[in-house]
Structure 1
Amino acid sequence: MQSQTTSNLLMIRPVRFGFNEQTAGSNAFQNTDLATQSRDVVQENALREFDEMTHQLMASGVNVIIYDDLPEPYTPDSIFPNNWVSFHYSGTVVLYPMQAPNRRLERRLDIIDDLAKEYHVAKIVDLTHFEQEGKYLEGTGSLVLDRMKKIAYACLSPRTDADVLAEFSHQTGYNVVAFSAVDAAGIPIYHTNVMMCIGDVFAIVCLAAIADPDERLTVRQSLVNSGKHVIDITLEQMAHFAGNMLLVTARKGQKLLIMSTQAFDSLSARQRDELDDFATLFHFNLSTIEGNGGGSARCMMAEIHLPSR
């Protein structure tokens, strides 16, 4: 059976990280007050946060494969590679259509070619042609995958289109559970992975964000039927990125639940105790990346589930 977790992660070391004006319109998690900060200072702070996170992950036995971003073209969000690519146990690599023009420039086939030297790439599913129709599906930001049960959870938004979801399902065999969700201000949630995380035997989800009671029940029931212990987070906790976590495998099979310090601090003592039963909680200060990029720890990691050569 396909494992839910992996110890192999792709991460992109930023060169010109900063507040992306092209994404701010649909990402309420970006702090617009930071838009006028010095780009050099933002890059310096983000790089420090990135290096500290990757250093600690590697020291804990996680295989982090790091590629430096390129100074040109300008890609301020390249630190979030999970939006343009996903890697699957079948040997499939999926490339995704992105809403912001400068985010489309993040896609790098040279990285896939390089990874193919160590991992088996059987086929590439290229969904990027949907950009010409104004339809988007931004990787495992739009999709939260139960890889064991082949279920893709997706919160519909300007960046998560139903037609592209259907094509993803057709190409990969995943069953889709689609729904709508909003934050405390009633603003549509831009990416599913800020409200939901799926582990091997647990799931974190902000059910309060799903306004429709039938959709809310469908999501919860799907998780329960898949054998997941459901940990419900509040809208306020979601706003602190408590849904933006990723379960990874470290040395000797140890499970690490990766999150930001902001997310960790938002959890109640009871929630931490619950999660401690399933994994070691591993958190990092990512305040610069979160405030400017509107994404957190999970967004920075693209899991490599490809079979080794």
Structure 2
Amino acid sequence: MSVQAPRSVILIRPHRFTPNPATAADNAFQVSGDYPDPDVLAAAAHEEVTRLAKALEASGIIVHLFEDHDHIRPDSVFPNNWLSTHAGGHVAVFPMYTPNRRHERRADVLELLKARYRVQDVIDYSGLELDDVFLEGTGAMVLDHQERVAYVARSHRADPVALERFCTNFGYEPMVFDATDSNGTAVYHTNVMMCVATEFAMVGLDLIRSESRRTEVAERLRSGGRTVVDLSHHQIREFAGNAIELQGIHGRVLVLSHRAFRSLTEAQKELMQRSCTLLPIDVPTIELAGGSVRCMIAGIHLSPRRASDPGLQHQEPNALANPEVLPV
């Protein structure tokens, strides 16, 4: 088992998916222009989430799959931006930069966590939105759960006040840096340029503007015993940094998109496959919205309740079967 790689995840399967026009201004990964017919687009996104859920389940990962029929939540497929979970029974709910994304926070997801896992507290930072203070979860932060480091590319989606509060409450060391793509555009979410796994870390070091800070980030990652896989600007554009390591029944699995997988070199793949299995999933429709597989997955770093625990006594005997589909 790995502290870094969770065995359970939450996915949201949208029925009315569309790239969010409200996020296009600062998300350089989002595709603008003419999209397919809305019904065709929504059906394709629905199928891609279904495909991801089935692939994770086949690897032995517990999937809690929630449905979203609402048209007011175009980015609901990305739950990792409003929710994170942490060992010891701690849950965080985050303030979102774009007003129409604030509808994505769901009480039924939190209730599921409390019923199936040992939750000691839920710290809700969403009230910071009233002061225009934002921190978009594990999109804005890439968390090293082993070394307790929060890596953060500076942006208005990662306010230093909210970051300080989170790191104080949850016991992380913040490591903040400025990062831009090849066009000089600021990176909107750290998890598009960086992935921390158990034995390696994938990171677009050249995107970090300060040479000294670039060296510090690489050294901090290596200090925990990890190999650093340096990603090029092209690989970052192909979402190679937007991956997540999960714990499968036969070992650790690195989940990423087919597009990201194709951008990796054979040497990079060989290095990563020494410690985990690569699991590429095709999600081209979801990627139109500027996020990929990592953004679609909210990992659950909580201890599961036993079947005899009071919180589970009302459940059917097979209630923990995968995947679990919960309507809204």
Are 2:15 and 1:7 equivalent residues in the alignment? no
The question of whether the paired residues in 2 share the 8 Å contact of 1:86 and 1:303 is answered with yes
Cα distance, 1:37 vs structure 2: 3.2
Structure 1 counterpart of 2:230? 232
C-alpha RMSD of matched pairs (Å): 1.2
TM-score (norm: length of structure 1): 0.96
Task: Describe the SS at the equivalent of 2:295.
Answer: helix
Instruction: Give SS of 1:22's match.
Output: helix
Q: CA deviation at 1:115?
A: 2.1
The DSSP-based 3-state class of the residue aligned with 1:33 is coil
Pick from 284, 288, 305 the counterpart of residue 287 of structure 1.
284
- Residue matched to 2:108: 110
What is the aligned counterpart of 2:119 among 118, 121, 127?
121
Deviations 1:199-224, CA, capped at 9 Å, x for gaps: 11110000000011121111111101
Q: Of 144, 167, 182, which aligns to 1:169?
A: 167
- Find the partner of 2:130 among 121, 129, 132: 132
Amino acid at match of 1:236: H
| Alignment equivalent of 2:256, drawn from 259, 269, 273 | 259
**3-state SS of the aligned residue for 2:63?**
strand
Residue 159 of structure 1: aligned partner: 157
How far residue 70 of structure 1 moved from its aligned partner, in angstroms, is: 3.6
Q: Structure 1's 287 and 2: CA in aligned 2 closer, same or farther, altered over 3 A? A: closer
Q: Which residue of 2 aligns with 1:297?
A: 293
Shift in CA distance, 45/70, structure 1 to aligned 2, threshold 3 Å: closer
SS of aligned partner of 1:181: coil
Q: Is the 8 A contact 1:19 1:76 kept in 2?
A: yes
Of 187-196 and 132-141, the range deviating more from structure 2:
132-141
For the 8 Å contact 1:197–1:203, the answer to whether it is kept is: yes
Runs ≥4 residues deviating over 6 A: none
Q: Secondary structure at the match of 1:57?
A: helix
Show the counterpart of 2:197.
Answer: 199
| Secondary structure of the corresponding residue to residue 22 of structure 2 | coil
Residues 228 and 307 (structure 1 numbering): CA distance in 2 closer, same or farther, change over 3 Å? same
For 2:57, give the aligned amino acid: M
Distance in 2 (alpha carbons) for counterparts of 1:299 and 1:209: 20
CA contact (8 A) 1:144 1:154 kept: yes
Contact kept, 8 Å, 1:255 with 1:280, in 2: the verdict is yes
* 1:148-186 per-position Cα deviation (integer Å, ceiling 9, x unaligned): 111111111121111111011111111111111001110
For 1:40 and 1:151, locate their aligned partners in 2 and report how far apart those are by CA, in whole Å.
42
Mind listing any 5+ residue stretches in structure 1 that lack a counterpart?
none
Q: Please give the per-residue CA displacement for 1:238-295, whole angstroms capped at 9, x wherever unaligned.
A: 000000000001114x11100000000000111111111121110011111001x100
Secondary structure of the residue that 1:278 maps to in structure 2? coil
Give, in whole Å, the separation in 1 of the partners of 2:304 and 2:52.
25
The 5 A counterparts of 1:42-53 are 42-53=41-52
Paired position in structure 1 for 2:240: 242
Aligned length: 305
> Matched residues in 2 for 1:282 and 1:230: separation?
20
Amino acid at match of 1:33: G
TM superposition shift of 1:109:
1.5
Which secondary structure does the structure 2 equivalent of 1:164 belong to?
Answer: helix
The counterpart of 1:277, out of the listed 274, 279, 290, is: 274
Shift of 1:2: 7.3
In the alignment, does 2:211 pair up with 1:213?
yes
In 2, the alpha carbon distance for the partners of 1:123 and 1:110 equals: 16
- Give aligned-pair identity as a percent: 39
Q: What SS does the aligned partner of 2:219 have?
A: helix
Aligned ranges 1:13-32 → 2 under 5 Å: 13-32=13-32
Q: Aligned partners of 2:231 and 2:221: how far apart in 1?
A: 15
Q: Is contact 1:20–1:77 with CA below 8 Å preserved after alignment?
A: yes
Could you tell me how far apart the structure 1 residues matched to 2:116 and 2:52 are?
Answer: 24
What is the correspondence of 1:68-147 to structure 2 with a 5 Å cutoff?
68-71=67-70, 74-147=72-145
